[in-house]
């Protein structure tokens, strides 16, 4: 879902270099070539200009940006237009995008909440929780919830193809019709050996987070989406998020359209039809817990507030678990993987936490850095062959922090929630 190829080593300090209503000044005059919506205080114009340049250089047609500080949403911006029923629709700050692997922090929080409520032990084995056979590899009994969360469970997509993107191989291997299901993916993968001993090293695994979604369903007795929306998002005051679907006809009413130059054979049926990669070239329902959510940038910066301090979703113990270092330690760059977040200690002795998301038609980035600053950017296409680097959104927005002389104080949350 995401490459996670870039460690966040940028250190952002106060004043260092690393966005008309409600009393906020309107943004500066817009470029005629780029339609925009939302609120940009004059003090945060550096964020807006950086986004416009990034978008226009890459030919992106739909994007969002939200910036917050100390629990207040200060900038909320939509960029571009998309077509719906033959009409051009402006991207709003609340329009929905597929967020890909930013979904993992939601799943991680749901697991932490089940543990907090005494319904799940983080040290429990996946075999006992889901009744999986160990015939394919006896080491599967050593895969715990902790190891799934921190990507140390034993699956390495650099060694064995990612099961969440192997629909045709799984369909053929099981003689199962398309579309395949979560159960098919688990049956196929469980019958094969692990790529390394559980707990011995880190390897990013979408499959591990898909399994966490099934654990949430088994332990809670609810569907994954229902549990998350009722027990995790609702207490945080977030209601727009929902799981995405594969086809344009199934899109949410405020969901943007997605762009990719690639096509694939559809995985939503056995027709063998060639389709745009974002629309049937992979299964959105199967991505649910590892990359299936729809959200807006303002939703996601508000989601980040859940981890600032104990509240109605997670207590202090759970938050400390979310960002705990794994048994394998930290990387050479000083970062580590928690429960759906990358983390590292910043130059103030606290944590910078972040994640990106990438799938055909989507690129997203969310960061929580020094001095209570957070930002999220989402786009309706990702880096493809011959395109400019998309990971550069991280240092670009980090650098924009240094352009802020005085931070606004007007909270935009009442406008968007």
**What is the band of 332 on the pLDDT scale with cuts at 50, 70, 90?**
low
Judge whether residue 18 has pLDDT over 90. no
Q: Give the DSSP letter of residue 233.
A: I
Confidence band, pLDDT 50/70/90 cuts, at residue 14: very low
The share of the chain scoring above pLDDT 90, in percent, equals 89
d(CA 239, CA 221): 21
In Å, how far are 113, 119, 207, 217, 290 from 220, measured between CA atoms? Answer: 11, 8, 20, 5, 18
Residue 26 is predicted with a pLDDT of 33
The helix/strand/coil state of 179 is coil
pLDDT at 406 over 60: yes
How confident is the model at residue 6, as a pLDDT? 36
Residue range 49-76: average pLDDT?
98
Residue 80 pLDDT > 50? yes
- The pLDDT score that the predictor gives to residue 387 is 81
pTM of the model: 0.92
At 63, which helix (H) or strand (E)? Answer: strand 62-69
Contact 75, 39 (CB under 8 A): yes
> Can you give the three-state secondary structure of 73-139, one letter per residue?
EEEEEEEEEEEECCEEEECCCCCEEECHHHHHHHHHHHHHHHHHCCCCCCCCEHHHHHCCCCCCCHH
Whole-angstrom Cα distance, residue 198 to residue 201?
8
Domains (range + CATH), the chain: 1-98+364-417 (no CATH), 107-231 (3.40.710.10)
- The answer to whether residue 289 scores a pLDDT higher than 60 is yes
Q: Given pLDDT bands bounded at 50, 70 and 90, which one contains residue 27?
A: very low
Report pLDDT for 33. Answer: 76
Tokens of 342: 């990358």
Confidence label for 386 from pLDDT (cuts 50, 70 and 90): confident
pLDDT band (50, 70, 90) for residue 20: very low
Of residues 281 and 4, more confidently modeled: 281
The answer to which of 13-17, 44-48, 286-290 has the lowest mean pLDDT is: 13-17
Nearest to 138 by CA among 149, 122, 127, 151: 127
- pLDDT at residue 282 is higher than 70: yes
pLDDT at 329: 77
At 216-233, the pLDDT tens digits run 999 999 999 999 999 999
**What does the pLDDT read at residue 1?**
52
For the chain, what percent of residues have pLDDT higher than 70? 92
* Three-class HEC string of 363-379: EEEEEECHHHEEEEEEE
Is there a contact between 43 and 49 (Cβ–Cβ < 8 Å)? no
Mean pLDDT over each residue of the chain, to the nearest integer: 92
Angle at Cα 149 formed by Cα 148 and Cα 151, nearest 5°? 65
Mean pLDDT over residues 295-305, rounded? 98
Above 50 in pLDDT, residue 22?
A: no
pLDDT in tens, 107-160: 999 999 999 999 999 999 999 999 999 999 999 999 999 999 999 999 999 999
Mean pLDDT of 271-298: 98
Average pLDDT over residues 67-92: 96
Q: Is the pLDDT of residue 353 over 60?
A: yes
């Amino acid at each position: 879902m995401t490459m996670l190829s870039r460690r966040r080593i940028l250190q952002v300090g106060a004043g260092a270099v690393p966005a008309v209503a409600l009393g906020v000044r309107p943004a500066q005059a817009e470029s005629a070539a780029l339609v925009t919506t939302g609120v940009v205080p004059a003090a945060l114009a550096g964020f807006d200009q950086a986004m416009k340049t990034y978008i226009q250089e890459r030919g992106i047609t739909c994007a969002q940006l939200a910036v917050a500080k100390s629990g207040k949403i200060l900038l909320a911006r939509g960029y571009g237009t998309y077509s719906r029923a033959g009409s051009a629709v402006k991207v709003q700050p609340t329009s929905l995008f597929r967020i890909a692997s930013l979904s993992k922090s939601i799943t991680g929080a749901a697991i932490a909440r089940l543990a907090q409520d005494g319904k799940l032990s983080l040290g429990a084995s996946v075999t006992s929780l889901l009744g999986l056979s160990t015939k394919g590899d006896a080491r599967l009994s050593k895969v715990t919830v902790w190891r799934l969360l921190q990507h140390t469970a034993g699956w390495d997509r650099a060694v064995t193809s990612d099961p969440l993107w192997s629909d045709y191989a799984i369909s053929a291997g099981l003689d199962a019709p398309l579309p395949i299901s979560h159960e098919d993916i688990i049956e196929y993968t469980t019958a094969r050996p692990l790529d390394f001993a559980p707990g011995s090293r880190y390897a990013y695994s979408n499959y591990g987070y898909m399994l966490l979604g099934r654990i949430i369903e088994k332990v809670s007795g609810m569907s994954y989406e229902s549990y998350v929306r009722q027990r995790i998002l609702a207490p945080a005051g977030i209601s727009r998020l929902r799981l995405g679907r594969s086809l344009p006809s199934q899109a949410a009413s405020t969901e943007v359209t997605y762009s990719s130059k690639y096509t694939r054979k559809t995985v939503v049926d056995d027709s063998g039809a060639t389709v745009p990669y974002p629309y049937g070239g992979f299964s959105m329902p199967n991505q649910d817990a590892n990359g299936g959510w729809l959200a807006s940038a303002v939703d996601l910066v508000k989601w980040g507030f859940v981890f600032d301090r104990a509240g109605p979703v997670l207590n202090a113990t759970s938050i400390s678990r979310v960002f705990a270092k794994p048994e394998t330690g930290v990387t050479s760059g000083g970062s580590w993987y928690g429960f759906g977040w990358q983390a590292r200690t910043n130059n103030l002795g606290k944590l910078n936490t972040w994640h990106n998301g990438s799938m055909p038609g989507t690129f997203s980035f969310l960061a929580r850095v020094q001095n209570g600053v957070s930002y999220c950017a989402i786009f309706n296409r990702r880096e493809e062959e011959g395109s400019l680097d998309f990971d550069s959104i991280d240092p670009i927005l980090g650098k924009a922090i240094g352009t802020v002389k005085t931070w606004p104080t007007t909270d935009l949350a009442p406008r968007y929630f």
